[in-house]
Amino acid sequence: MPDRLAARSALHGLASPGRFGRATGTAGLVIAERSGLALASVIAGNRKGGAVVSALAQRHGVEPHDSSRRVANSEVAFIGCGPRQWIAIAEPPAAADFVAGLQTTLEGLAAVSDQSDGRVVIRLSGAHVRDVLAKGVPIDLDPRAFGPDDAAVTLAAHIGVHLWQRDAQPTYELMAFRSLAGSLWSWLTASAAEFGYEVVADTADGLD
């Protein structure tokens, strides 16, 4: 038996690089699992939301919104998921001590819980990304209603997810609990098959 556990992707055995579904034309959806991220939930104490925002702005140079919005720079992002609540994300190399740093910075101001191994984050882009998401996500993704840096806690085929839009292309990221990764992948790939989809390696091009 191995003497230690080895970390592995939430989509291990499910997501293989390549082209799938419809084989002709440009793939309508491009899928990349984000890897190496540090994730944490941040819940500000009662009447301490302003102090949390100030502390994070001083430490990381970004001011989280107390709403369903995403703010980011090249290393970190904060995505609103409720009143005085955020999901915090860091890219490597900042990911190495990100959660511990948050806990120190926000001591006495907020509860910080490491979610790095408990969630899966998938990046979605392509000409038919909205068409794919519309098959299971019950919110209006028309650019007049949902645009860059908008975020929502919602459902994807009855699976609880956190969805945010990164840019106007559009590019989205979808986050779910790790235990639901298989079900999410099954729905996503079945929904994308008619357009053709391509699974690619994580681009790791920053969070801003």
Q: Report pTM.
A: 0.93
**Distance between CA atoms of residues 184 and 193, nearest Å:** 14
- What is 29-47 written as a DSSP string? EEEEE--S-EEEEEEEPTT
Number of H helices, E strands in the chain: 4, 12
Residue-level pLDDT at 3:
64
Token pair of 153, please?
């806690």
Q: For the chain, which domains are there? A: 18-35+118-199 (3.30.1360.120), 38-114 (3.30.70.1400)
Mean pLDDT for each 10-residue chunk of the chain (208 residues)?
A: 72 92 97 95 96 96 94 95 96 94 97 96 98 97 97 97 98 97 97 98 70
